Structure 1
Amino acid sequence: MIKSIKYSDLSPSETERLQHHIDTEFGHVPFVQAHVWAQPDWSIIKYEEDNTATFYNVVLREIALDGQNVKAAGINNVITPEAYRGKGYATTLLKATEGKLFDEWGCDCGVLLCADALVPFYSRLNWYKVDAILYYDQPAGKQLYDSNVMLLTPPGCSRLSPKEIDLNGLPW
């Protein structure tokens, strides 16, 4: 079963469970520890027998691509707990909910900040890497992101090729 839940509507126990998975997966990463992150607007969760089999969070925001504002769905924390890995659950979840980004939420693109090892995975799901300078906010001011940026455009639309992206807020 797949559920899309407003992050603010998650029960305290569900929020704690998702945060536990996030901390397990990314809590040891120095870059993650050193930054302030945006609170998600939505959590997309696939359940197996009432257990979280895979999930991701979404931040909806106006961002700037080469100075032009567009509505983006920022994807973060795509996580499959270890007991459920290797079953294609993340692929299934991302494919099954792709339309939500564009049809329901009216986004112009999806954006994710991606580790090198995951670029091939997302590429198989129609995400594509862009060579863009990406800025994001932190309490001390604008910061430059120096890793992979991937975009997803609606089916049938041309790929975007920005040279500069500003997240207009905290990273996700």
Structure 2
Amino acid sequence: SPRVRSPWLAAEADERLDNHLLAIHLEQELTEHLMLRGLVRYGARLYNQPFSYRDTQFFTIGPHLEWVITPDIELLVGYHFERGYTDKDDTKQYQDDIGYINHYASAELKIHILPKFTLTAIFDYEHNDYTSQYATDIHYNGNENVYQGELELIYEIDESAALKAGWQHGNRKFSYETHSVRNNNIWVGAEYHF
């Protein structure tokens, strides 16, 4: 966990976060090739002292549509709306509120290019509007945009084992920062199901 110097404390402290989540997934086959999925979540992000004023409760709702275009091509699209709430009585003392409204959209294209090779391309977009009411808070009238793309090649050895290689690029920009943060990840690995 990162060591964080809080502007309200004389010393550094380890910031720890526990996530608790309840999720419900619903599925409805619309046709032989179309599947509609729904997601409903409720959760809490609980911080240790002295950061517990940032404790957040949130709910998420959103649809996903999976379309088997051909036996070799599948498309999955989805959208989530999420709202995160903090306790205004707790945040008032520090004028630091991380409450938010989140919009998240994703598209995934899976192509079986050869009998044992699959190429997956994913694009995600996320927009956060921060809901802080404190004019001195860095999050006041702030927002964040995140773009992320991913390519992964999978070689299926058999039903229980696969080899994978991929690349992911992400770009995150807060409205109150002058530069965006870019992130690239490359992986090579194996997956085995017991």
The structure having more radius of gyration, on CA atoms, is: 2
TM-score of the aligned structures, taking structure 2 as reference length: 0.29
More strand by proportion, 1 or 2? 2
Question: Highest relative contact order (Cα 8 Å, sep 6+), 1 or 2?
Answer: 1
Length-normalised TM-score, structure 1: 0.31
